[in-house]
Chains A and B, each alone.
Chain A
């Protein structure tokens, strides 16, 4: 029995839907079995809210009596919920959120992350900016922890000058007229923005309407994905084509597991999987590897943990390994928005920007046991 917490209601449910679809697909691919056991996945809805997420987690642990909990899009939901799972002595696997505390001081032997640490992707982007020769940068991001982390990540690596920075109200602000005017006035060589979910396309659209897209290149993390790109395409914002970002994965990465995943996902759901989907898909195989290692005896937490540390499973991103703080050590690639053979907009993986990268908090992690 696996509990999987994600967002199934509120506008952010688009992400949750992708994750759930990926989990369902994974279950299909493994025939609904891990080792000798049949798997049942019970979903919890965090309603885009830390308290509700925590309650959903409690429900899974106390009422549904799941053996292991995975999922979590949002850092704050994860931070609130983690103690519930960990104090019950069960294993927790984050399929998206990677907040700094859990990578550093508050790391835990039973906590694993199968995506990335929040800082990593923007650090890669900072590196990309340096490589592209951008010397002055304007930053726009939402004022919540992940937003702050993204900005901090870029700033940590970016060597040029940050000429302006706006942290906007999250999640309500959807009109950036004031910020765009400031950008125009500041005239930077590049703009970095981070808006997950449907806010991203809205930003880019306004960026275009303000007449900026031709003059100042826009960089981003997470914003151009298979959830937002159809919206861009629908709205005809061709300017995003060729837009660059960084990520650990892209739908066209060439390995067997990824090909299987992407093709199956497309056939089944009629759209490209997002990276959220990819991580969720991975998480199921990740769990499977552990369950098989203990021969289905999921009560053997020590055994499971040992197997998870080895991370021997087929991942859609090819190779990677678990770091000392149970966060992945992996490559980050440049990723470009392109048109695929069928005319759909997608992203394509480019050269490696950061190789075998480990997050900067791993050093603070003193894991018992």
Chain B
């Protein structure tokens, strides 16, 4: 096999993984740690793309747009949390599903009203255009390299925040036993708003970052959301490290499936069958991956601490 292609595909998978990670990281904070099933996390991805995209177009700079998007998304996140979700923490997951589904409908329609059905295209600044040579005959789009770098930095920062700081401890404490954390002096409502805001920023960042590649479209977050759920489940819920590993794994496997599955299938199947089985199988691949991992490790790759205690 062509090693240039192989490496390029690995990079592609890596880059997809990074986007998934940004989504999954927010989810794992909000769902894994605060135990809130937020289907509207996908909407935040979309809103990030539209709001960030608009800011980019207004300021005529992607960098400025991204910088301005951070406080904007944070504010939106906190607002959504305060208005709609705050009282839902103590409710069942199913109630949360229903309410946040309502949010999805609302946000999608609101976005359509504000930006129109055609979505939003965000140009890439000239200095991010083009490809870079990575040596050994590999050239790779510069912007995708930038995505990978940003994602790695965010991953590191987030890991430190959650695992190493008191903030992270308090969030985890509040999530596992709200009442008790409150009785020990933790201001849970404020803390959770903060976390939700951070989750919103991460989702928004993912949305904006991908927009110069895919453009912003209404409902763009929903399929990504499912993938992000797959990721956090594979990684082990509540684990930022798990989300990172699983996101990369998912990204790479998905990409590898899309690139090489047809070739592999040709080894076993007649061309006709391979041609029709290929796309089906490659779309199933990550689900097969997830089912397989859960079958052997029902708690994901990095089970959250405390989940394995004796009954």
Which A residues form the contact surface with B (CB < 8 A)?
9-11, 13-14, 17, 143, 165-169, 172, 174-175, 177-179, 181-182, 184-185, 198, 201-202, 205-206, 209-211, 227, 231, 234-236
CB distance from A70 to the nearest CB of B (A): 21
What residue in chain B is nearest A13 (Cβ atoms)? B117
Q: Mark B41-79, 1 if CB is under 8 A from A, else 0.
A: 000000000000000000000000000000000000000
Given A167-B278, A177-B255, 5 more contacts at CB 8 Å?
A11-B218, A178-B12, A202-B215, A210-B131, A211-B139
Tell me, in angstroms, the Cα distance from A13 to B121 when the chains sit together: 17
What residue in chain A is nearest B8 (Cβ atoms)? A181
Q: Which 10 residue pairs are nearest across A and B when measured between Cβ atoms?
A: A174-B214, A177-B12, A13-B117, A172-B223, A185-B5, A167-B279, A181-B8, A178-B258, A143-B279, A14-B118
Tell me, in angstroms, the Cα distance from A234 to B212 when the chains sit together: 12
Max count, chain A CB within 10 A of own CB: residue among B112, B217, B223, B283:
B217
Interface residue tally on B, bucketed by range: 35 or more
In the complex, the answer to whether B214 meets A202 with C-beta atoms within 8 Å is: yes
CB distance from B247 to the nearest CB of A (A): 14
CB distance from A100 to the nearest CB of B (A): 17
In the complex, the answer to whether A209 meets B141 with C-beta atoms within 8 Å is: yes
In the complex, the answer to whether B213 meets A231 with C-beta atoms within 8 Å is: no
What residue in chain B is nearest A208 (Cβ atoms)? B129
In the complex, the answer to whether B259 meets A174 with C-beta atoms within 8 Å is: no
Any A CB within 8 A of the CB of B304: no
Q: Which of B9, B118, B212, B218 contacts A181 (CB 8 A)?
A: B9
Q: For A206, list chain B residues within 8 Å (CB).
A: 213-214
Sample (14) of A-B pairs whose CB atoms are under 8 Å apart: A13-B112, A13-B117, A17-B117, A169-B283, A175-B214, A177-B15, A177-B144, A179-B258, A181-B8, A185-B2, A198-B119, A209-B144, A210-B141, A231-B121
CB distance from A186 to the nearest CB of B (A): 9
Given the interface pairs A175-B210, A177-B12, A205-B213, the reply to whether A166 lies near B258 with Cβ below 8 Å is yes
CB distance from B135 to the nearest CB of A (A): 16
Q: Mark B249-269, 1 if CB is under 8 A from A, else 0.
A: 000000100110010000000
In the complex, the answer to whether B117 meets A209 with C-beta atoms within 8 Å is: no
Tell me, in angstroms, the Cα distance from A210 to B145 when the chains sit together: 12
Tell me, in angstroms, the Cα distance from A175 to B18 when the chains sit together: 13
Any A CB within 8 A of the CB of B143: yes
Any A CB within 8 A of the CB of B300: no
